[in-house]
């Protein structure tokens, strides 16, 4: 009877929590714990509330208390794993999930949690293997088909991604998200007609799903006053989140730009960028401090250090295309990957995220860093090997410019291509692009973009002093006007034979998952850096920052 009373009380706590009354829920569960301080369940409930409120330290205390009172409580271990994952302590998170699975062997949700943890760690092959194990047991697990599709996409295996998204759609044909995901797959593959069909079906099922509107504006010119336009206009009158409004305002900006109404287009850009700035709350000062730690750590503990070579990498040459976003890196990757020995892997976040974590964990201690450093290299090489067997592979994540010295220590064969473009064109192209959430959070404020441009220059000057022979400086504007001549220099830098057909972008059918997913399938466009001029009267802050004359051979 006592347990029944407890379950009724905890059910009330759950109802308060579900009604967003966290404070009342906490007070209610606190009273229960005072009365039943030896029962494991109330601690678990309170831990869940603390975790939802991002009070991770208290959540850890409660979940640990819960499993100390019941060593066979798998849910408590799982919640402990969720908390460690939120704290980015992936090792302890995996340990907790594994303990949960040892208790409840057949729990597919725990296995899915482990797969999602591997995905977050960048261990995409392990994630895929985990999801495959789940689907062998239950092939009707819609969510796992979605998860494994995402993992395949990260490995540039877009056909497999589409296959699993299609399986998810069969299981749930009324899901607007399943249609959206397939549309996005086809967009990355460059199949505009299929992409448009699925995005439209997504909106038929949910007219309020804002990402589908932005996707449609990327595919075709939208009529002002047409159905899509009117739906966006109507939604903008409603009380939506900052992120939803950002999608809609960036959609409107694209629509008016296509109709050459640049004043209206820029007005919507201002609104959309403010939405994203409010949403992600990016702080440049904090960001700069974090990245400068990377240089300090390099000069103090990495630069003069000789690491024991524990794994030969002579048969693989990673090519890092880096610099400012929207500076022509996608075009260069498309040209290079026309070469039969080069695979274009797109923007891989493994190196950047791993080095961020490595520096953060090791900057303030005196432990031997060799093991961590080479574990990082092994993780990166494993990812490359799972993508391609070609001897050259491109990683075009722009933010890798922060890590050139580290990468040379890890991968002595690495080559770097630093793409540069008219700073006005680069900065405005960043400002008018809605990137994936959590990616390039500096992009939604003019001052942040200017400051980011400065820090990029600082880092590149720093690395050029040390590794100039390994860095090819490519001026995008000059390249588009002298493609044959500059492409020969680029392939010479890589010690590869150049052929004229490499400049034919239509030869390349590889998938592209970046903001340039459609542009890079067109021919090389010589005047692309001049498009910002139609917005010139609205870009006084950028002009003031970049008022020095820009020479194309700079």
pLDDT at 521: 44
Provide the pLDDT for residue 82.
95
Give start and end residues of each alpha helix (H) in 341-498.
350-362, 370-387, 404-410, 423-431, 446-467, 476-481, 483-493
Residue 543: count of CB within 10 angstroms of its CB: 12
CB 122 within 8 A of CB 354: yes
- Decide if 214 is inside a domain: yes
Indicate the range of 136-150, 286-300, 444-458, 506-520 predicted with least confidence: 506-520
What is the predicted pLDDT for the residue at 199?
97
Helix or strand run (H / E) with residue 330 = helix 329-336
Percent of the chain residues past pLDDT 70, beyond the cut: 93
CATH number of the domain within which 483 lies: 3.40.50.300
- Among residues 236, 258, 281, which one ends one of the domains? 281
* Pair (232, 368) in one structural domain: no
101 in a domain, yes or no? no
Mean pLDDT value across residues 325-333: 93
Residues 274 and 324 in one domain: no
Give me the pLDDT at residue 1, please. 42
Task: Look up the pTM and report it.
Answer: 0.84
In a domain, 6, yes or no: no
Q: Is residue 168 part of a domain?
A: no
Is the pLDDT at 510 greater than 60, yes or no? no
d(CA 434, CA 208): 18
d(C-alpha 187, C-alpha 183), whole Å = 6
Q: Is 389 domain-assigned?
A: yes
What single string gives the DSSP state of each residue in 365-411?
--S--HHHHHHHHHHHHHHHHHH--SSEEEE--GGGGGGHHHHHHH-
Q: Which residues contact 288 (CB under 8 A, 6 or more apart)?
A: 451, 455
pLDDT tops 60 at residue 333 = yes
Cβ neighbours of 452 (radius 10 Å): 22
Q: Are residues 336 and 414 in the same domain?
A: yes
What integer pLDDT is reported at residue 135 of this predicted model? 96
Predicted confidence band at 522 (pLDDT cuts at 50, 70, 90)? low
Distance of alpha carbon 265 from alpha carbon 261, whole angstroms = 6
Q: What is the mean pLDDT of the chain?
A: 90
Mean pLDDT value of segment 154-159: 82
According to the model, what pLDDT value does residue 520 have? 47
Domain count within the chain = 2
Per-residue pLDDT for 519 more than 70?
no
The helix (run of H) or strand (run of E) holding residue 184 is helix 176-189
Number of Cβ atoms within 10 Å of the Cβ of 319: 25
pLDDT at 19 over 80: yes
Is the Cβ–Cβ distance between 359 and 293 less than 8 Å? yes
370 and 467 fall within a common domain: yes
Is the pLDDT reported for residue 334 higher than 80?
yes
CB neighbourhood size of 24 (10 A): 14
Confidence band for 2, pLDDT divided at 50, 70 and 90 = low
Task: For residue range 134-151, list pLDDT tens digits in order.
Answer: 999 999 999 999 999 999
Q: Same domain, yes or no, for 271 and 353?
A: no
Show the domain range for 488: 317-545
pLDDT in tens, 279-307: 999 999 999 999 999 999 999 989 888 76
pLDDT tens digit string along 39-71? 999 999 999 999 998 899 999 999 999 999 999
pLDDT at 467 over 90: yes
**pLDDT attached to residue 507:** 62
Measured CA to CA, the distance from residue 326 to residue 429 in angstroms comes to 6
C-alpha dist (Å) from residue 306 to 362, 369, 409: 17, 12, 8
Alpha helices in 220-328 (DSSP H): 227-235, 242-258, 262-280, 284-297
Helix axes 74-86, 40-52, angle to 10 degrees: 20
Domain boundary among 281, 304, 337: 281
User: Same domain for 412 and 487?
Assistant: yes
Predicted local distance difference test score (pLDDT) of residue 527: 62
Looking at residue 380, its pLDDT comes to 87
Residues 539 and 460 in one domain: yes
User: Do 408 and 501 lie in a common domain?
Assistant: yes
Mean pLDDT across the stretch 529-550?
Answer: 84
Do 215 and 331 lie in one domain? The reply is no
Q: In this predicted structure, what is the pLDDT of residue 148? A: 97
Summarised one tens digit per residue, pLDDT across range 226-265 is: 999 999 999 999 999 999 999 999 999 999 999 999 999 9
Single residue among 255, 281, 307 that ends a domain in this structure: 281
C-alpha to C-alpha distance for 218 and 228, rounded to whole angstroms: 13
Q: Is the same domain home to 399 and 252?
A: no
The pLDDT of residue 429 is above 80: yes
Strands of the sheet containing 317-323, edge to edge, are: 342-344, 392-395, 317-323, 415-420, 471-475
Q: Is 485 inside a domain boundary?
A: yes
Query: Residue 221 carries which DSSP code?
Result: P
Question: What confidence category does residue 550 fall into, taking pLDDT thresholds of 50, 70 and 90?
Answer: very low
- Residue 132 within a domain: no
In a domain, 288, yes or no: no
User: Is the domain of 517 the same as that of 403?
Assistant: yes
Spatial distance between the Cα atoms of 529 and 519, rounded to a whole number of angstroms:
13
Same-domain pairing of 322 and 425: yes
What pLDDT, on the 0 to 100 scale, is given for residue 285? Answer: 96
């Amino acid at each position: 009877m006592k347990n029944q009373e407890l379950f009724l009380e905890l059910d009330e706590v759950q109802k308060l929590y579900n009604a967003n009354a966290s404070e009342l829920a906490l007070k209610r569960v606190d009273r229960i714990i005072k009365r039943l301080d030896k029962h494991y369940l109330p601690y678990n409930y309170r831990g869940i509330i603390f975790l939802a409120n991002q009070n991770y330290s208290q959540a850890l205390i409660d979940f640990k208390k819960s499993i100390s009172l019941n060593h066979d409580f798998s849910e408590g271990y799982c919640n402990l794993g969720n908390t460690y994952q939120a704290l980015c302590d992936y090792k302890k998170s995996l340990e907790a999930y594994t303990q949960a699975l040892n208790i409840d062997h057949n729990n597919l949700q725990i296995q899915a949690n482990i797969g999602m943890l591997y995905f977050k760690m960048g261990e995409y092959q392990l994630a895929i293997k985990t999801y495959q194990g789940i689907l062998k047991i239950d092939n009707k697990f819609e969510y796992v088909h979605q998860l494994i599709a995402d993992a395949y996409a990260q490995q540039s295996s877009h056909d497999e991604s589409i296959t699993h998204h299609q399986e998810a759609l069969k299981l749930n044909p009324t899901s607007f998200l399943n249609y959206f995901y397939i549309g996005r797959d086809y967009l990355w593959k460059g199949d505009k007609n299929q992409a448009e069909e699925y995005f439209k079906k997504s909106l038929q099922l949910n007219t309020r799903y804002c990402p589908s509107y932005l996707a449609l504006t990327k595919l075709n010119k939208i009529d002002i006053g047409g159905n899509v336009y009117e739906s966006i206009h109507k939604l903008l009158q409603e009380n939506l989140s900052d992120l939803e409004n950002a999608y809609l305002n960036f959609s409107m900006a694209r629509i008016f730009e296509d109709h050459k109404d640049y004043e209206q287009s820029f007005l919507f850009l201002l609104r959309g960028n403010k939405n994203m700035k409010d949403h992600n709350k990016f702080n440049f000062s904090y960001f700069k401090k974090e990245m400068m730690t990377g240089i300090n750590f390099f000069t103090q503990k990495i630069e003069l250090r000789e690491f024991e070579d524990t794994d030969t990498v002579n048969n693989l040459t990673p090519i890092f295309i880096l610099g400012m976003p929207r500076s022509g890196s996608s075009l260069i990757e498309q040209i290079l990957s026309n070469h039969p020995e080069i695979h274009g892997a797109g923007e891989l976040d493994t190196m950047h995220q791993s080095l961020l974590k490595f520096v953060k964990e090791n900057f303030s201690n005196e432990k031997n860093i060799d093991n961590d450093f080479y574990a990082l290299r092994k993780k990166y090489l494993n990812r490359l090997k799972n993508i391609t067997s070609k001897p050259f592979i491109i990683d075009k994540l722009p933010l890798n410019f922060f890590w050139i010295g580290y990468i040379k220590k890890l991968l002595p064969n690495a080559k770097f291509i630093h793409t540069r473009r008219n700073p006005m064109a680069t900065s405005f192209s960043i400002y008018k692009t809605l990137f994936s959430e959590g990616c390039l959070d500096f992009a939604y404020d003019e001052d942040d973009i200017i400051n980011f441009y400065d820090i990029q220059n600082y880092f590149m000057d720093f690395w050029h002093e040390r590794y100039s022979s390994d860095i090819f400086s490519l001026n995008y504007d000059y390249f588009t006007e002298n493609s044959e001549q500059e492409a020969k220099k680029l392939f010479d830098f890589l010690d590869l034979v150049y052929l004229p057909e490499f400049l034919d972008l239509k030869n390349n059918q590889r998938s592209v998952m970046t903001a340039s997913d459609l542009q890079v399938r067109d021919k090389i466009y010589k005047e692309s850096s001049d498009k910002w001029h139609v917005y010139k009267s609205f870009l006084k802050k950028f002009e003031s920052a970049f008022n020095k004359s820009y020479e194309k051979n700079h």
